[in-house]
Amino acid sequence: MGVTINKVEADKTIQEKPKLKKVKDTLLNGMPVAQVVDELGELKKRLVKAAQRMKPMEKSYSILETSVIEWVDSIKSADQGHICMGEHYAMDVTEKGNSSKVTNPEAVFKLLNKVEKGLAVKLMTFGIGDLRKYLTPTQFESMVKTERTSKRQLKFQEK
Question: Each residue of 18-54: pLDDT tens digit?
Answer: 444 454 566 666 778 888 889 899 999 999 999 999 9
Per-residue exposure over 77-87, b if at least 16 CB sit within 10 Å of its own CB, e if not = eeeeebeeeee
Instruction: For residue 110, give the nearest of 102, 98, 122, 118 by alpha carbon.
Output: 118
Instruction: Quote the DSSP letter at residue 90.
Output: E
pLDDT recorded at residue 25: 60
Quick count: other Cβ atoms within 10 Å of Cβ 55? 9
pLDDT recorded at residue 27: 66
pLDDT recorded at residue 47: 95
Which parts of the chain register pLDDT below 50?
1-21, 23
- 5, 23 Cβ separation under 8 angstroms: no
pLDDT recorded at residue 82: 94
Instruction: Quote the DSSP letter at residue 29.
Output: T
How far is residue 38's CA from residue 47's CA, in Å, rounded to a whole number?
Answer: 14
Residues in the chain: 159
For CA atoms 60, 62, 63, 64, give the dihedral sign.
Answer: positive
pLDDT recorded at residue 87: 93
Strand partners, 111: none
Residue 15: φ, ψ to 5°: -145, 170
Q: Which amino acid is at 81?
A: G
CA 83 to chain centre: 31
How far is residue 88's CA from residue 58's CA, in Å, rounded to a whole number?
Answer: 20
pLDDT recorded at residue 13: 38
Q: Which amino acid is at 25?
A: D
Instruction: Quote the DSSP letter at residue 6.
Output: P
pLDDT recorded at residue 29: 65
pTM here is: 0.57
pLDDT recorded at residue 113: 94
